Amino acid sequence: MSDNNFKSFKMAKSIFYHAGCPVCISAEHDIINLIGAENVEVVHIGEDRKRITEAENAGVKSVPALLTTNGNVLHINFGASMADVKG
């Protein structure tokens, strides 16, 4: 799915992408506390590698990152670039 396709519809939940590093885990806890576990899907792309392409297509350049329900990507702190995640 291209970046434009992600932004053409409103998703039911935000998606929080991370790679499992300490920065990512801390950000995950903060995001869940801020918006609620029921409002966010947490995707550990280090463990679920098939979701890397999905994240990149949505515009994720580094993790941790939050893809909002409107299709905007919020890059949170800097844990790892997508190139680092892909290895």
Could you report the per-residue pLDDT of 39-56, keeping only the tens digit for each?
999 999 989 999 999 999
Mean pLDDT over 82-86 rounds to 78
CA distances from 20 to 5, 6, 17, 37, 70 (A): 27, 24, 9, 17, 25
Q: Which two tokens stand for residue 69?
A: 């329900």
* Statement: residue 5 has pLDDT above 70: no
CATH of the domain at 43: 3.40.30.10
Q: pLDDT band for 70, please (50, 70, 90 cuts).
A: very high
Number of domains in the chain: 1
Tell me what pLDDT residue 15 has.
Answer: 97
Find the domain containing 80 and state its range. 3-86
